[in-house]
Amino acid sequence: MTETNRRIEQTPAQAVVFLETLAGLVEQSPVTYSAAAAADLAAHIRGMAESVTTEAHVNPAELHTTRQYAALDWHNEAVAVLFAAEHRQKLH
């Protein structure tokens, strides 16, 4: 199987949610940047998400559904990490 056969088609809604998620991560991680620089970069990334939404004419219902799935994915990842064997000992 070639690399191109394993690609999953992406939608503009997925790109928007990715950019929104990235902005949230940047905003919450001022370890690499100052808090002000992190907020500025996050605002720039959110602007990119708004541009994609506008120019690609993203369906609001599709965007809402994609955001819900993304939130569920992040929740599932967090739960999986918390309940992984190597992390259990730290929960007590």
Q: How many CB atoms lie within 10 A of CB 45?
A: 20
Q: How many CB atoms lie within 10 A of CB 83?
A: 10
pLDDT of the residue at 79:
65
Instruction: Tell me what percent of the residues of the chain surpass a pLDDT of 70.
Output: 65
- Identify which has the larger pLDDT, 78 or 17: 17
Q: Full-prediction pTM beyond 0.95?
A: no
**58 in Cβ contact with 12 (< 8 Å):** yes
Sequence-distant (6+) residues with CB within 8 A of 23 are 41, 42, 43, 45, 46, 49
- pLDDT at residue 85 greater than cutoff 60: yes
CA separation for the pair 62, 12 (Å, rounded): 10
